[in-house]
Amino acid sequence: MYRQLEKYFKSRTEIDDKTLSYIFSYFKFKKTKRNEFLLEEGEICKHFYFVNKGCIRLFSVNKEGEEATRYFHFEDAFGTALSSLINQKPSFEFMQTIEPSELLVINRDDYFHLVKTVPQFCFIYRQILELAYIKSQERIYCFQGLEAIEKVRWVLTDQTKLLTRLSNKMVASYLGLTPQTLSRLKSKI
């Protein structure tokens, strides 16, 4: 159950088995169904998730009912609605498992206890924050200047997992396209 999380830590920092066991004691195993909500808009995020198997999608829904996907967390990654988790304010987005998933869950208080008391965990948290910042900046600056066809090429080149595991509707909402436009552009490439 903790093998992937152990591999995650050991590939990023020096850590002994005793410290890992201590960290693992704060995580609980959660199995979810396809399309199960972990967080709904307006709720305050109380958990951090490590994805052993499956995928978590973060998305919002506008007034017209259109979904806009912000991010996907696949295997061997941490995922949460970070701003709500940190600020403890209502989330403006949903968090949903889009496949049957196996997650390791830690509550907010325990998570930040580990950040304060375990240097290796604090290091991992800093990496998570840095990666979240970099990904958001890439998305903002990359997508602002790209034509639709270039967005699809980017996914085909750099994010192939999106096209092999997700519906066109979800990928299109991530790219800011309609599913029809995405299908048409994929056939041209």
Q: What per-residue confidence (pLDDT) applies to 104?
A: 98
Question: What's the CA gap between 44 and 32, in Å, rounded?
Answer: 20
Q: What per-residue confidence (pLDDT) applies to 14?
A: 96
Q: Which residue is it, tokens 């965990």?
A: 121
Tokens of 34: 């396809």
Is the model's pLDDT at 139 over the cut of 80?
A: no
Is the model's pLDDT at 60 over the cut of 90?
A: yes
- Residue partners of 25: CB distance under 8 A and separation at least 6: none
Q: The domain 3-133: what is its CATH number?
A: 2.60.120.10
Name the DSSP letter for residue 45. Answer: P
Q: What per-residue confidence (pLDDT) applies to 187?
A: 87
Closest residue by Cα to residue 166 from 150, 186, 147, 146? 186
Is the model's pLDDT at 69 over the cut of 80?
A: yes
What does DSSP say about strands 94-97 and 56-61: parallel, antiparallel, or unpaired?
antiparallel
